[in-house]
Amino acid sequence: MLLSILATFNSQAQDEKLISKVLTKLNLKPKDVNMELIQTKVLPYAKEKTVLVIPKYETNQDDVEFYVYDAYIVIADNQSGQILNKYFEKSKWTSDAIRLDGFTIDTGLYKLSDKVRAFGVRVSYTGSSRVNPYGTTDLSLYIPTKNGLKQIADEIKVENYSGEWDGNCNGEFQREEITIDIDNQKTNGFYNLILRNKITDTIATPKGDDCDEKISTSNKTKKLKYNGKTYE
């Protein structure tokens, strides 16, 4: 137990040092970014490198809880903090009534060709309405290039939840859960992506003192192909 706590503490300390080094190299100060949302993850296939997702404030309006973030996504050397690859996009993320909850760095098996492996950044959002619940998670994919990082898939929906109800029982809800498989066929040099969508629909109605739920599921499959610039 103690060893586990120490390992976690050391890992957090290393992350903080690396984040500080990378911010310095990007000419950013802690006040320029949302420090709570920064994410880091060591690449499992290149353990000397770490991916960092850094949301830089473009606007910061505390009175209306409205935020626009510029995106910095970088691969850095673990020890020196040297930026090896960088992707920047202005005004990429917005947090307002649909709140940006956080990021997850996805280092799954996105092997798009014999020599190219991508990593993903998942972005999760949650709505603020109690009677119209809403949540969604999008996935964007990136590959290292000589000049930086290239975004090759933008905001693939991998989870979605929505509904409308009266606050007590009566209502309808839908959840979509999408998994991504790599096809064995290529388009323009990269394997196609197979999106498998499990859709769960729930209808809730009052029945006496109880709330009766009818649940149905369906499945859809879709392929995304690389057009030479991005998957579509």
pLDDT (average), residues 5-22: 73
pLDDT in tens, 175-197: 999 999 999 999 999 999 999 99
pLDDT in tens, 104-115: 999 998 999 999
Sequence ranges of the domains in the chain? 2-224
Residue 21 Cα distances to 17, 147, 153, 189, 231, angstroms: 6, 21, 29, 36, 33
- For the chain, the average pLDDT equals 92
pLDDT (average), residues 25-32: 95
Alpha-carbon distance 118 to 152, whole Å?
9
pLDDT in tens, 136-172: 999 999 999 998 999 999 999 999 999 999 988 999 9
pLDDT (average), residues 115-143: 96
The confidence score (pLDDT) of residue 229 equals 97
Nearest to 217 by CA among 203, 201, 204: 201
Q: Where are the beta strands (DSSP E) in 146-228?
A: 148-165, 171-187, 190-207, 210-224
